[in-house]
Amino acid sequence: MANAAGAAVTVFMRGDTALREFHQPFVKQVMADMTKRGVAFVPNADISALTKKKDGIAIHYGAQQEETVDWVLDAIGRIPNADKIGLEAAGVEYTKHGIVVDDHLRTNIPNIYASGDVLAKDQPKLTPTATFESYYLFHLLSGQTTDPINYPAIPTTVYTSPRIAKVGVTPEAAANGNYKLVHNHIPDDWYRQIDEETMGDNILIFDQGHHLVGATEFSEQAEDSINTLLPAVVFHYDQAQMWQLAHIFPSISASAWHKIR
């Protein structure tokens, strides 16, 4: 957004790979497009300090290099707020990754439960994950279930321009399994041509029974496309069930759904 508004933008990277959890060929295309639009990337920046100056903020990085900027956005990840809230006094176990829970979101203290980004877990630390966990705890603590939590496929997106979004099995994981990968070039879709989308691709991943098990896309509407496909991934629709859904036409949902049937 800052770049689109006319600001000079520099991204200082911790390593040499951006957005490691996303399909790297898509990431590289997005970065190339951003670079073409004037965004600068500094890989392996190794930032050592930020200092205030009269004309801005000095970023000290690399081999005694320095760049002065007007504003700094720190986006290096989440740290669980697990310390200084009395967990030690209560005897609740936690690590630097968060609070340790079992498959019922119960801590080592039987009457204390936890949910959200504060957990030490493999699932993505996102709003929909936290919402799902809280809804599960409502059912558990109200006596409506005794089952362990069963996480669904959790979609995620990065709000670059164009966006990158994904859900389920990734192309990298599918390469080591018995899956069918279908590649689609977004500008070939007539509906996307209405908005003059000139770049973008998606990869749809099916098992041998033609159940959609994963999808990843980069495009200006990637998050809406992946949200549309989410029910097929979560509920394991077969091809006959896919044909039972008729979306409003024309729409991004109709465009995305048509490609999986």
Average pLDDT in the 192-219 region? 96
Nearest to 222 by CA among 247, 256, 194: 256
Tokens 């009269």 — which residue? 54
Exposure letters 219-228 (e unless 16+ CB within 10 A, then b): bbbbbbbbbb
- What stretch(es) of the chain map to CATH 3.30.390.30? 158-258
- What stretch(es) of the chain map to CATH 3.50.50.60? 10-69
What CATH class is the domain 158-258? alpha beta
**CATH number belonging to domain 10-69:** 3.50.50.60
Residue 82, pLDDT > 90, answer no
Burial class (CB in 10 A: 0-12, 13-18, 19+), 191: middle
pLDDT tens per residue, range 117-128: 999 999 999 999
Tokens matching residue 91: 């005897």
Residues for the chain: how many in total? 261
Residue 84, pLDDT > 90, answer no
Residue 105, pLDDT > 90, answer yes
Q: Name the residue type at position 165.
A: A
pLDDT tens per residue, range 141-182: 999 999 999 999 999 999 998 999 999 999 999 998 899 999
Residue 59, pLDDT > 90, answer yes
Q: Output the pLDDT for position 250.
A: 93
**Mean of the per-residue pLDDT values of the chain:** 95
Contact 160, 30 (CB under 8 A): yes
Average pLDDT in the 216-226 region? 97
- What is the distance between the alpha carbons of residues 157 and 177, in angstroms, rounded to a whole number? 24
Residue 55, pLDDT > 90, answer yes
Confidence of residue 36 (pLDDT cuts 50, 70, 90): very high
Share of residues in the chain with pLDDT > 70 (%) = 100
